Amino acid sequence: MSLRLNAMRAMAVGVLGACSFCLTAKAAPITANQTIPAAAEADPTGGTVVSNGGAPLVANFSGGAGPTAFSGTLISKVISGDPSNPLGGLTFTYQLTNAVGSQASLSRLTSGDFTGFLTDVSYQTPAAGTAPTSVDRNTGAIMGWTYNIIGNGQVNPGATSAVMVIQTNATGFNSVTANVLSGAGATASSFGPVPEPASLALLSVAGLLLRRRRV
């Protein structure tokens, strides 16, 4: 009898686990030194823009020269209270526009600093622009979006990217510098998360303990 009960319990746990997986199947978490295919989700589904006085930040960028010259804009938002955020913190969104007069296509966007934060990444669907091919997280800090000419294509002159979404467990944000690549590079103002004061204190204590052990 006990064997049968244990088997039934194991089956129930398995079913619950499977249902839990189904509820989060759309999630695309990414950890340090990992590259994953870009996933399409309907996120964000609501919330309030809390960056730039409640408005999107539209930052200009330009780079290259002659036949490789390009320019455009990066639109960044920080959203609080996004009900689709599985991590319960701030949601960051980014969208590239390549100017009509550019001579080159855009192939990559990177932004930080996401060190120590959980992240769930996607691009918004239905995509109103070129979707990224893949997403990577370099050493945990820098999130990168690649537009591969072999995949979904690059962001061509006169075109706009899909909205790139990073849902996090962060509760604070600040200004950061994003990088746009098209052979040559360019920079644009954007937003990224910042650690809580308590987290910073813990990191300082950990660093102090590590130094003492080395001494």
At 29 the three-state DSSP class reads: strand
Cα–Cα distance between 113 and 95 in angstroms, integer? 18
pTM listed for this prediction: 0.80
Residue 21: what are its φ and ψ, rounded to 5°?
-65, -40
Q: What does DSSP assign to residue 1?
A: -
Helices of type H across the chain: 2-23, 197-214
Distance of CA 210 to the CA centre of its chain: 31
Cα–Cα distance between 55 and 3 in angstroms, integer? 61
Mean of per-residue pLDDT scores for the chain: 84
Instruction: Confirm if 206 and 130 have CB atoms less than 8 A apart.
Output: no
* Sheet strands side by side (includes 184-194): 34-37, 134-138, 142-146, 108-111, 172-182, 184-194
pLDDT value for 139: 85
- At 10, is the pLDDT very low, low, confident or very high (cuts 50, 70, 90)? very low
| Average pLDDT estimate for 86-114 | 97
pLDDT value for 127: 81
At 88 the three-state DSSP class reads: coil
pLDDT value for 196: 66
pLDDT value for 27: 56
Domain assignments of the chain as residue spans, ordered by start: 26-214
- At 6, is the pLDDT very low, low, confident or very high (cuts 50, 70, 90)? very low
Higher pLDDT residue, 128 or 96? 96
Residue 168 has pLDDT above 60, yes or no: yes
| Average pLDDT estimate for 47-60 | 97
Residue 1 has pLDDT above 60, yes or no: no
| Average pLDDT estimate for 107-112 | 96
At 9 the three-state DSSP class reads: helix
